[in-house]
Amino acid sequence: MDWHAIQDILFKVIGGLGIFLLGMKYMSEGMQAVAGSRLRKMISAVTDNRIMACAMGTLITGIVQSSSVTTVMVVGFVNSGFMTLMQAIGVILGANIGTTVTAWIIALKIGKFGLPILGVAAFFFLFSKRERVRYTAMALLGVGMVFFGLQTMGGAFKTPEVNEYLKEAFSVMNAGTLPGVLKCAFFGCLATMIVQSSSATIGVTIVLAQGGIIGFDTAAALVLGLNIGTTVTAFLASLGTSTNAKRAAYAHIIFNVIGTLWLIPFFFAYVQGIDWLFGHLQGFMTKNPEMADDVTAKIALVHTGFNLINTIIFLPLMKPLAKLVVKLVPEKKADEISHLTYFDVRMLDTPSLGIVQSKEQVMFMAESVEKMAGWLGQVLASEEQLDELEHKIFHYETIMDNVQKEIVVFLSSMITGQVTHDVMEEARREMRMADEFESLSDYLVNVLKGHVKLRNNGLTVTKEGREEMLALHQRVAEYIKMVNDAERNEHTDILGKAQTDSDSITHQMKTSRRQHLLRLSENKTSPLNSLVFTDMLNNYRRMKDHAFNIAEVVAGEK
Which residues does 475 contact at the CB level (< 8 Å), separation at least 6? 504, 505, 508
Mean pLDDT of 1-21: 80
* pLDDT, greater one: 542 or 242: 542
pLDDT tier, 349 (very low <50, low <70, confident <90, very high otherwise): low
In a domain, 546, yes or no: yes
* pLDDT, greater one: 72 or 427: 427
In a domain, 161, yes or no: yes
Same domain for 378 and 280, yes or no, is no
156 near 162, Cβ under 8 Å? Answer: yes
For residue 370, what is the domain's CATH number? 1.20.58.220
Span 114-169, pLDDT tens digits: 888 889 999 998 888 888 898 889 989 988 888 888 888 877 777 676 677 677 77
Q: Which helix (H) or strand (E) holds 367?
A: helix 351-381
Going through 417-541 in order, the beta strands assigned E by DSSP cover none
Same domain for 189 and 258, yes or no, is yes
Span 206-256, pLDDT tens digits: 888 888 888 889 999 998 888 888 888 778 777 766 787 788 888 888 988
The CA distance from 309 to 60, in Å, is 20
Radius of gyration of the chain, Cα coordinates, nearest whole angstrom: 30
Same domain for 448 and 322, yes or no, is no
Same domain for 349 and 320, yes or no, is no
Q: How many domains does the chain have?
A: 2
Query: Residue 334 pLDDT > 70, yes or no?
Result: no
361 near 339, Cβ under 8 Å? Answer: yes
Is the pTM higher than 0.85? The answer reads no
Secondary structure of residue 83 in the 3-state scheme: coil
In a domain, 338, yes or no: no
Query: Residue 546 pLDDT > 90, yes or no?
Result: yes
pLDDT for the residue numbered 474: 93
Same domain for 241 and 103, yes or no, is yes
492 near 554, Cβ under 8 Å? Answer: yes
Neighbours of 331 (CB within 10 A): 9
Same domain for 448 and 548, yes or no, is yes
pLDDT for the residue numbered 290: 46
Domain final residue pick, 261, 294, 328: 328
In a domain, 340, yes or no: no
In a domain, 259, yes or no: yes
pLDDT for the residue numbered 346: 56
Span 298-325, pLDDT tens digits: 888 888 888 899 999 888 888 888 889 8
The CA distance from 433 to 431, in Å, is 5
pLDDT for the residue numbered 59: 86
Q: Would you give the end-to-end CA distance of the chain in angstroms?
A: 67
Query: Residue 293 pLDDT > 90, yes or no?
Result: no
**Integer angstrom CA distances of residue 511 from 468, 471, 531:** 9, 12, 16
Domain final residue pick, 296, 328, 360: 328
Same domain for 283 and 183, yes or no, is yes
Span 418-450, pLDDT tens digits: 677 888 888 899 999 999 999 999 999 999 998
Mean pLDDT of 170-186: 84
- 46 secondary structure, DSSP code: -
Same domain for 287 and 416, yes or no, is no
pLDDT for the residue numbered 243: 80
Same domain for 163 and 279, yes or no, is yes
Mean pLDDT of 288-292: 46
Question: Residue 291: phi, psi to the nearest 5?
Answer: -80, 145
Same domain for 447 and 551, yes or no, is yes
Same domain for 366 and 220, yes or no, is no
Which of 332, 349, 338, 322 is closest to 78 using CA atoms? Answer: 338
pLDDT tier, 336 (very low <50, low <70, confident <90, very high otherwise): very low
Domain final residue pick, 283, 303, 328: 328
Q: Which domain holds residue 536?
A: 345-555
Query: Residue 504 pLDDT > 90, yes or no?
Result: yes
Neighbours of 280 (CB within 10 A): 8
Same domain for 294 and 418, yes or no, is no
